[in-house]
Structure 1
């Protein structure tokens, strides 16, 4: 065999491919000896679990009103001489609120007194005549008919005296009615007459809210009638939203308002303090008394692998996922209502659950709820 020697100019050309093969072999060896890098934590958005009544709570905006509010007016007509109270003033029982010009009423009382005096004199004269007529009848100087007529005149005089006494009492009452007084402790909420105004008997002059119970008055739509009647209620004031008062339905309108087609409901505010002022804006919250509690989550938080609905719960400390089966109570719009399987305060992945695996580590980038 004859051996051939390659020309020296071909050696560099052969060396380049051989070096590439050697480097590739080294890279493959290094790749087989290195450990795989740990996958980075996946960013997730979570929602905090908050349980609430299944049927939820309904709120109605209303105003604080007294349980009893009366329009007070004079029991006689006349010209208002003075008004003694202002709107917003607290008054006591028996305190004068306004007065009429009582000149004519005083004259009527004086006239009644004069009529009474005349009736008394007339009766005394008639009774004296009775004695004289009876004496004449015993002596035979007068007939029985004459005696009977005299006794009749005396009875009429006695009746006139009684009428005069009643007339005087009425005149005294009329004079007393010229002063309007508070019939109970309360708060003046409105004044409807000014000095110089002529008012008829019964015309409202002062509106008085009795001291005691306070109520929240709201308008209830027709669809909420049954819930308002059977639910439990609380009241909060816009001026102090952090304070809540228990409330009880006291009165529900028998018919709807002709303009708004709503029903007026009055809730008694229990344990109302001085902070509950008439005219304040109040919020009445009505909830079901025995309603089941559920957690509301986005429908996108549900995960299903063919074995029933589940959710991914995140451990905020370690970033570990736990797939927990849940019981669905229903759906409302874009929300799912969960009754069991999760606890208050759990953090549930809200979106992209079908791209997760329970063995993955995650990091929370946003918390909702």
Structure 2
């Protein structure tokens, strides 16, 4: 059948955010509260969860005490050093004793600096007991409950950032050469009549070990609020075929290493293998733009078992 065609092959996937973040605490501890649930909208700075702060507060108090002691020690050491400096200038202090006072002053100054940094660190860790969102978006999963002890960096919730939305699909290896040049569009299963233009953003260089397919992410252009995370999305890929094309069943096209071809049956029933140009594929058809003519008979089943030169008998398809 010859027709004017713009063909598309469809792949089903899921809508994701362009940026998805696993949120985790920067300190370990026991979760006392999880503020958000799946589906909640958050803004940057909103609290996601809290840890028990008791131990962290004790660390702050200990650091404050150490800072007070270091400050007092530094003041005493500085006073001694200043006094011995004056005595040395007047010739009343031994060089060895002056050197000891100078070393004590330097050590006290270093201890004071360490105490200040320790207090800053303890206060930071106390602040880290509250896990906060780093961007505006939607919580797509939660992975801890109150009472659970979590480690540093353990995922507590996943945040899908507002902004670009993508359709994630799995492509067979036969489409790796086509996908970068194909025209892409996305249709939502929940709104079958509406379609969005799309653009390939990322193609995995490695196949999934189980499915042997390649993950592809398509940016959904001009996606609005009706495109929600987790929705089923159908990605249509295709190239426009100029002029008339022959729409042949996929089962009629074979490739033995020299490109696509079909078996043509002549008037005597003999087979000849004919190279063809496939403009595009659909879910069940190949649109052939060159290599066959209108009215020619093409073998549609069992082509892998045939050889050129064999004679076959044509059978009318059942009505």
Normalising by structure 2, report the TM-score.
0.76
- Which residue among 11, 16, 39 is the counterpart of 1:65? 16
Report what 2:27 is aligned to.
76
**C-alpha distance in 1, partners of 2:167/2:17?**
9
**C-alpha distance in 1, partners of 2:5/2:296?**
14
Once the two structures are superposed, what CA deviation does each residue of 1:75-108 show, in whole Å capped at 9, x if it has no partner? Answer: 0000001000010111000000100000000000
- The answer as to 2:46 corresponding to 1:95 is yes
Report what 1:266 is aligned to.
217
Report what 1:160 is aligned to.
111
Once the two structures are superposed, what CA deviation does each residue of 1:240-274 show, in whole Å capped at 9, x if it has no partner? Answer: 01110000000001011111111111000000011
Classify 1:297/1:111 alpha carbon distance in 2 versus 1 (closer, same or farther; 3 Å). Answer: closer
Report what 1:183 is aligned to.
134
Classify 1:130/1:235 alpha carbon distance in 2 versus 1 (closer, same or farther; 3 Å). Answer: same
Deviation at 1:293, TM superposition (A): 3.7
* Equivalent residues in 2 for 1:24-173, closer than 5 Å: 51-53=4-6, 56-173=7-124
**C-alpha distance in 2, partners of 1:77/1:202?**
8
Instruction: Please give the secondary structure, in 2, of the residue aligned with 1:107.
Output: helix
> Which segments of structure 1 move beyond 6 Å, counting only runs of 4 or more?
329-332
Deviation at 1:50, TM superposition (A): 5.5
State how many pairs are aligned. 258
- The answer as to 2:233 corresponding to 1:282 is yes
* Equivalent residues in 2 for 1:297-312, closer than 5 Å: none
Q: Please say which of residues 93-102 and 122-131 is displaced more in the overlay.
A: 122-131
Contact 1:294/1:329 (<8 A) preserved: no
Contact 1:82/1:195 (<8 A) preserved: yes
Deviation at 1:330, TM superposition (A): 7.9
- Which residue among 195, 212, 216 is the counterpart of 2:163? 212
Report what 2:306 is aligned to.
none
Structure with larger Rg: 1
Classify 1:331/1:177 alpha carbon distance in 2 versus 1 (closer, same or farther; 3 Å). Answer: farther
Classify 1:241/1:333 alpha carbon distance in 2 versus 1 (closer, same or farther; 3 Å). Answer: farther
Deviation at 1:130, TM superposition (A): 1.4
Contact 1:84/1:97 (<8 A) preserved: yes
**C-alpha distance in 2, partners of 1:296/1:333?**
14
Instruction: Please give the secondary structure, in 1, of the residue aligned with 2:160.
Output: strand
Q: Which runs of 5+ in 1 are unaligned?
A: 1-46, 299-326, 335-369
Q: Which runs of 5+ in 2 are unaligned?
A: 249-292, 301-319
